Chain A
Amino acid sequence: MSVVQANPGTDSGRSVTLPTRLRSRHLLSIADLSREEIFVILETARVMKEIGTRPIKKVPTLRGKTVVNLFFEPSTRTRTSFEVAEKRLSADSLNVAASTSSLVKGETLTDTARNLEAMAPDMIVVRHGSSGASHLLAGVAGSRIINAGDGMHEHPTQALLDAMTIRERKGSIEGRKVAIVGDLAHSRVLRSNVLLLKALGADVWVCGPATMWPSGMARFGVTATTSVDDAVRDADVVMMLRIQLERMHGHYFPSRREYFRLFGLTRARMDLAKEDAIVMHPGPLNRGVEIASDVADGPNSVILEQVSNGVAVRMAVLYLLAGIDEGTT
């Protein structure tokens, strides 16, 4: 964190010192962010949210900047969320989806990136099925890279929007009991959230079938259990993870009905949590598999708030990264 001149050209000719710096020119992982940087992003997102309430939901900030949304995995929420964020900041955005890209013709990720690079985009938002894909791109591309989900590794903007939602509803994250329930092994949302929630001082519980525990979970500093009841009891936040059938190459549980019976979030289980506990889900929902419909649509659910906060958080990240000079790493 460095102290910098925040308003070098204000009308009064006066300089103000405020810490605003993101050290990296990319957003690849929550692990790269300091506690202060997380707060800078969340505070910026809070201000960005207001723009979505205006009659003209657009500011000229990133006029003339080009952002490529490079999506190698299907995504509706994240891609449209980034696209809305880019448009609200007046950036020119273009979408490259795997099915229409030359990857299906056998081009490597690096070559695709180099070709996009030749068109001089300022930022590339990348979603890829392989863990580390965004790191690979950051190494070969001159543009700023934003990780929109890489395999089973991380999904940093999801964790940031979740943190924003918790802060809006609960005031703070420190000391809150957060239960994260579901497919732990395949979840990049879990990894990013655990890193961020721990950095902000939450009491994090994770719960899922033993067949879906990631290796090395002890290093996360979380309480792990196979009992949903224990995880949810007295929780302030219950975060459900999606069962990712597309990433499962094996048998992790007998049937969806069995999974729902043992790990699904039902009204009865929610009664164990604090009365004002919030229910979160990164979407898309598997109703009747990880979450009951009456809970997903119930009064404690903030699932749709997560979606609106997603746009604000992505605007904040785009804005903050656009200001980083070429000298940073």
Chain B
Amino acid sequence: MATVMEADRIGRALMRISHEILERNRIVDELALVGVRTRGVPIAARIARNLLEIADHTVPTGSLDITLYRDDLMRHTVGPQPVLRETEIPFSIDDRRILLVDDVLYTGRTVRAALDALVDFGRPRSIQLVVLVDRGHRELPIKADYVGKNLPTSLRQSVQVKLTEIDGIDEVDVEEVEEGVA
């Protein structure tokens, strides 16, 4: 296991992303953050804190569970259903510029599901994608707008983002996984 990002690097990456968001979106009050469960949620909360600090503006923040929109849900012939978690979007997304936040961008299937879920809540003006790590190997035509770190990986590796709010520590690890365990 190799640690590729530590707490201070994660913090700096999220601060840089926050500045980039403000650079590209002049009208702050149209912005809203939506974190994808599980680890997109605390990342979205941190970006919201950064934006409050830099721009003195509170950006509404929600969380999205994409389980019911997954394309592989009924394809697993063995095994029970994934656990559902709450979706909380306590504001109208109509005409907002949505910043969709996730920890790792990999195949792009989670983002595809999140986009489907989001449009069921309304019609946003735009959706931009924020990820802490882009590890490559896309299976769908999806690209992030803001990336904390581009991390070239092999398919045999697994990327684990750990966040203090959930895991008690801030770090990004890369692990070699044995065949079939991924």
Q: Which residues of A pack against B, CB within 8 Å?
A: 4-15, 18, 20-22, 40, 43-44, 46-48, 50-51, 54-56, 58-62, 64-65, 89, 319-320, 322-327
Contact = CB atoms under 8 A, between A and B. Distances in A.
22 contacts: A8-B72, A11-B102, A11-B106, A11-B111, A13-B106, A13-B135, A13-B157, A14-B160, A18-B83, A20-B83, A21-B80, A44-B84, A47-B84, A51-B68, A55-B120, A56-B120, A59-B68, A64-B74, A319-B84, A323-B76, A325-B79, A326-B77
Contacts of A62: 74
A323 B81 contact: yes
B58 interface: no
B73 A12 contact: no
Nearest to A327: B78
Contacts of B39: 12
Given A47-B65, A323-B81, A13 B177 contact: yes
A4 B106 contact: no
A11 B80 contact: no
A115 B120 CA distance: 37
A59 B65 CA distance: 12
A51 B69 CA distance: 12
A85 to B, nearest CB: 13
Contacts of A20: 80-83
A61 B73 contact: yes
Given A13-B177, A327-B78, 20 more contacts: A7-B82, A9-B70, A10-B110, A12-B39, A12-B160, A12-B161, A13-B104, A14-B158, A14-B159, A21-B80, A22-B80, A43-B83, A44-B84, A54-B121, A60-B68, A319-B84, A322-B81, A324-B80, A325-B76, A325-B78
B106 to A, nearest CB: 4
